[in-house]
Structure 1
């Protein structure tokens, strides 16, 4: 199984387009988004990948109803905490929820901090937007091996 993990796109449309270009060259089973898509037009960029998305709502996602409509139209999964093959994704705004999820024997993907973290069963791919760290990062997970890549 090979999939991409992204987070915190924050409406940086040029970064999302660059990300979509990079991901379209990969042979992916699906994409996991750990939240803060923000606006529906940003999510639409992922439609061209032609793979299933598993999306956790972030604390800055304002148009949840429209984001949900886009997800449902594409048969994607979206919610506060979403299971995907091999793991679960949650934005990460409540550390107590993260502590509970860490107890699962599966990959726990989260975002929110904008900083890359690979630790035991935890993965934060950093930020696609590049606003806080100056780095636009994402992850590729293949058969349990995690690679952090920079746009």
Structure 2
């Protein structure tokens, strides 16, 4: 399965819309948002996607974020989520606490650990675990990115949103 990865969208409506368009055009089966939607008004922009998410450190009104998420069928896990798909065990955590991120990656309990927070793209194997950070969809530092994870090939492709 191809899974879309996005994090740290920080209310950047044009990049969110572009990311959603890419995910729909690439027929991704699932999208994981690693937190920092920020404002609830951005949640409806993800309508039409199968979406799972966690909170980031900059997410504001958690209650309203969850309410807007319920309106579009968002599966929101709070601060941490884990699930299995295609025989792979995945974890999703914003990455606010670096030692926790490292512990998840080094635990050997997951095939894939997806995090955000640093705004830096990352794809590397930590033992048998594929550690992925799609970067920031906002593009504070200049480059706005999302990623596509192929769970069969265990491969990640980054896509720039601000070419």
Cα deviation for residue 89 of structure 1 reads 0.7
Cα deviation for residue 110 of structure 1 reads 0.4
Task: Give the aligned partner of residue 112 of structure 1.
Answer: 117
1:90 to 93, 99, 112: 93
For the residues of structure 2 that align with 1:82 and 1:72, how far apart are their CA atoms?
A: 17
Per the normalisation by structure 1, the TM-score is: 0.91
My pick for the range that moved more, 87-96 or 73-82, is 73-82
Task: Give the aligned partner of residue 137 of structure 2.
Answer: 128
Task: Give the aligned partner of residue 77 of structure 1.
Answer: 75
Task: Give the aligned partner of residue 137 of structure 1.
Answer: 145
SS at match of 2:73: coil
Aligned length: 148
For the residues of structure 2 that align with 1:64 and 1:14, how far apart are their CA atoms?
A: 23
Moved over 3 A (4+): none
Query: After superposition, what is the alpha-carbon deviation per residue over 1:69-121, rounded to whole angstroms, capped at 9, x for unaligned?
Result: 12233332211001243411100011221122111232000000000010112
- Calculate the aligned-residue CA RMSD, in Å: 1.3
- Structure 1 segment 1-151 matched on structure 2, within 5 A: 1-47=1-47, 50-78=48-76, 79-84=78-83, 85=85, 86=88, 87-102=90-105, 103=107, 104-120=109-125, 121-131=130-140, 133-142=141-150, 143=152, 144-151=154-161
Per the normalisation by structure 2, the TM-score is: 0.85
For the residues of structure 2 that align with 1:22 and 1:52, how far apart are their CA atoms?
A: 14
Unaligned runs of 5+ in 1: none
